[in-house]
Amino acid sequence: MKIAVIIPAYNEEASIGRVIAAIPRPPVDDVVVANNNSSDRTAEVAQDAGARVVLAAERGYGAACLQGIEEARRLGAEIIIFLDGDFSDYPEEIPLLIAPILEEKFDMVIGSRIRGRRERGALTPQQRFGGWLACALMKLFFHANYTDLGPFRAIAMPALERLNMQDRNYGWTVEMQIKAARANLRVTEIPVRYRKRIGKSKISGTVKGVILAGWKIVTTILKYAVTPSRHSRSVNERRARTLLS
């Protein structure tokens, strides 16, 4: 199956080359870097490292992912891998991530940093709490058993098309997991390693980023909780309204 990696990137000049160099080829056929209007040399470094670079002019993690998907679709990708450009993930674990899809046992695989080995300080306390809260709410409303919102993930293109992804910023990962649960996709998690990123995080590294991301993630969950499938509509509406009150 044709496999493409999508890397949404904003000002990752110092790390993007190392990320691309660590991606195993094979099994990966194409690496697409969605350059999210970087003001540094992210695009040039990525291109020199052998990636296909597309401009994602609209700022936002989700917007960059959507632009990357368009390019991957044009290339005929059958499996999509999402990977951050800050070198916090281990691209050499891609074969482990896609194996359950290649074996036709699952449609989507999430790399769980919580279940895997983490470098000390790689996950901030606010990231750990936010991830725990999001996973607890998704279990409450959608009966989904997740341990993490890890951005390192793989999904079969037909399954991704079914999700009709819409979020253009901080709610991307949680939207995908909610929609996967509601669509009854076959989803699993595998433990992945995680290290301190190169450079300062645009989200967890600032107070504003933490607040905006946390608010967006929680409100995204509650939005889908009050518009669920018919059989769970009334129960979830009561739960969501209680939390919002």
Instruction: Report pLDDT for 242.
Output: 67
What is the average per-residue pLDDT within 174-200?
95
Residue 27, pLDDT > 80, answer: yes
Placement of tokens 């401009």 in the chain: 55
Instruction: Report pLDDT for 231.
Output: 46
- Confirm whether 229 is domain-assigned: no
Residue 22, pLDDT > 80, answer: yes
- In tens, the pLDDT along 120-135 reads 999 999 899 999 999 9
- Confirm whether 238 is domain-assigned: no
CB atoms under 10 Å from CB of 65, counted, come to: 24
CB atoms under 10 Å from CB of 105, counted, come to: 11
The residue among 66, 64, 1 whose CA lies nearest residue 30 is 1
Per-residue pLDDT band at 210 (split at 50, 70, 90): confident
Domain assignment of residue 18, given as a range: 3-122+148-198
Cα–Cα distance for residue pair 13/17, rounded to 1 Å: 7
Cα–Cα distance for residue pair 182/173, rounded to 1 Å: 14
CA angle (123 as vertex; 119, 125 as ends), nearest 5 = 130
Sign of the CA dihedral with 110 first, then 115, 119, and 120 last: positive
What is the CATH classification number for the domain harbouring 166? Answer: 3.90.550.10
pTM for the whole structure: 0.89
- Confirm whether 220 is domain-assigned: no
- Confirm whether 35 is domain-assigned: yes
Mean model confidence pLDDT for the chain: 92
What is the average per-residue pLDDT within 57-68?
96
Instruction: Report pLDDT for 243.
Output: 67
Per-residue pLDDT band at 41 (split at 50, 70, 90): very high
- Confirm whether 240 is domain-assigned: no
Torsion of CA 56, 57, 63, 68, to 10 degrees: -10
Q: How many angstroms from the chain centroid is the CA of residue 204?
A: 15
> What domain count does the chain have?
1
- Confirm whether 216 is domain-assigned: no
Residue 107, SS3 per DSSP: coil
- In tens, the pLDDT along 136-159 reads 999 999 999 999 999 999 999 999
The residue among 190, 164, 178 whose CA lies nearest residue 218 is 178
Instruction: Report pLDDT for 62.
Output: 96
- Confirm whether 62 is domain-assigned: yes
- Confirm whether 98 is domain-assigned: yes
What is the average per-residue pLDDT within 161-188?
96
What is the average per-residue pLDDT within 32-38?
96
